[in-house]
């Protein structure tokens, strides 16, 4: 697993964060993330689905600073996830990503939410951090209790 803090230059990161956290981001309600738990929902926006662009050129361009730093042959999936504040931290169930290759998670904001792996390792949500790992590694995300939302962008690529 690779972990990179301060992944983007400050100006690049702020432009991306401002876009993702704006009222113009077209979030879609997803009633089930992994389990049937009543708290298991999120908002998401898919930039790329199964290798096909699913958004405007402007929206893809905001991701270019990240894409330029990744080593990939093929982009399978890129989606932003937004989990809302909860009374307690809620984990959403261990899973593996459906694509072969690598998974990357880019953290947009700092909060007490995290990504947890099957071996118990937790990665804190800290803005402008990028982690990369094998897509077959079981992991789960969590909600947060200290901010209104926890926002990450997930990348799946080969």
Task: Say yes or no to pLDDT of 63 above 60.
Answer: yes
pLDDT at 31 (0 to 100): 80
| pLDDT for res 35 | 55
- pLDDT tens, residue by residue, 107-156: 999 999 999 999 999 999 999 999 999 999 999 999 999 999 999 999 99
Dihedral pair phi/psi, residue 15, rounded to 5°: -65, -45
SS3 17: helix
| Domain of 60, in residue numbers | 2-157
Count of structural domains, the chain: 1
Using pLDDT thresholds of 50, 70 and 90, give the confidence band for residue 92: confident
* pLDDT score of 39: 65
Mean pLDDT of 23-38: 77
What are the phi and psi torsion angles at 25 (to 5°)?
-70, 120
Q: State how far the Cα of 84 lies from the Cα of 35, in Å rounded to an integer.
A: 17
Asked whether the predicted pLDDT for residue 34 surpasses 80, the reply is no
Per-residue pLDDT reduced to its tens digit, 36-61: 555 667 899 999 999 999 999 989 99
Q: What is the mean pLDDT of the chain?
A: 93
Q: What is the pTM of this model?
A: 0.94
Average pLDDT over residues 86-101: 89
Lowest mean pLDDT among 27-31, 62-66, 136-140, 141-145: 27-31
Residues 6+ apart with CB under 8 A from 57: none
Percent of the chain's residues with pLDDT above 90: 85
pLDDT at residue 105, rounded to an integer: 98
Give me the CATH number covering residue 26: 2.60.120.620
Per the CB < 8 A criterion, the answer to whether 91 and 141 are in contact is yes
């Amino acid at each position: 697993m690779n972990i990179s803090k301060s992944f983007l230059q400050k100006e690049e990161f702020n432009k991306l964060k401002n876009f993702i956290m704006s009222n113009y981001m077209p979030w879609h309600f997803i009633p089930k993330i992994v389990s049937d738990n009543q708290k298991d929902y999120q908002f998401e926006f898919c930039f790329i689905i199964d290798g096909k662009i699913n958004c405007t050129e402007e929206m893809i361009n905001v991701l270019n600073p990240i894409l330029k730093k990744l080593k990939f042959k093929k982009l399978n999936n890129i989606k932003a996830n937004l989990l809302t504040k909860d009374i307690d931290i809620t984990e959403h169930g261990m899973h593996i990503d459906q694509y072969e290759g690598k998974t990357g998670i880019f953290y947009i904001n700092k909060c007490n939410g995290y990504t947890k792996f099957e071996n118990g390792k937790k990665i804190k949500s800290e803005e402008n951090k990028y982690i990369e790992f094998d897509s077959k590694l079981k992991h789960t995300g969590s909600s947060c209790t200290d901010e209104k939302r926890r926002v990450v962008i997930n990348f799946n690529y080969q």
